[in-house]
Structure formats: structure tokens, C-alpha cells
Amino acid sequence: DQQVKQNSPSLSVQEGRISILNCDYTNSMFDYFLWYKKYPAEGPTFLISISSIKDKNEDGRFTVFLNKSAKHLSLHIVPSQPGDSAVYFCAATRGDFGNEKLTFGTGTRLTIIP
């Protein structure tokens, strides 16, 4: 049973426009969320995170929004650049002491069109 779902396997966006990647979760115990980015033939790299006490976290061109009532989070990239073309994984966890496990989604492949 997928507790973290990324329902869009792929997304294409024009360079300079906004990219919006979506993620849904089913486990109401999750309270900390992360996005990872993965280039071909490389491992994922941490991008940005958000705690459930916030509804928004921003880091440069990247902003993550969390809607706890809808169990939904999204990653916004503005403006999109060719180097943003990658697979993006959403991850979630219970951020309590003694729990170090991340549950990942299946990923969304983002292609930025020049």
C-alpha cells in the first residue's frame, strides 16, 4: 500500500515558467516531509523539507506547500531552468525521536523545455 503517492509520472514545463509537482499521503501520523531530486545515473539529493507546523517553506526558487487537511504537498519551482530536469521524489516521515524511516513516493520526471 503506497502511503506516499505521486500520481503524475511525468511533467513538461517551458523554461522560465512555474513547475508544480504534487504529492499526496495517506498516513495521518506523518509530520515531516521532504523533496529529493535525482539525475540519471546518480543518487537522489536532498532539496527542501517542511514540518507540519508550517504550511510553506521557501529556499530560493523552490517552495514547498503543505495542506494538512487535504494530506497534500506540492513543490513549486520558479522560474524553471533546464538544469531542473530530473526525477523528483516526495518523502514523508513521523519526525519523532527514534524513528528514522523515510517513506518515498514513486517519483515525477520533470522535463524543462528550452
- Binding residues for other proteins, rule: CB under 8 A, are 2, 6, 32, 34, 41-46, 49, 89, 91, 93, 95, 100-107
Q: How far is the CB of 6 from other proteins (least distance, A)?
A: 8
Q: How far is the CB of 100 from other proteins (least distance, A)?
A: 5
Q: Name the residue nearer to other proteins (CB basis): 19 or 93.
A: 93
Give the phi and the psi of residue 54 in degrees, each rounded to 5: -115, 160
Q: Name the residue nearer to other proteins (CB basis): 41 or 53.
A: 41
Residue whose C-alpha cell is 521524489: 89
Contact 23, 4 (CB under 8 A): yes
Q: How far is the CB of 97 from other proteins (least distance, A)?
A: 10
* Torsional class of 49: left (φ above 0), alpha (ψ -120 to 50), beta (otherwise): beta
Q: How far apart are CA 60 and CA 27, in angstroms?
A: 29
Q: Name the residue nearer to other proteins (CB basis): 69 or 100.
A: 100
Q: How far is the CB of 33 from other proteins (least distance, A)?
A: 9
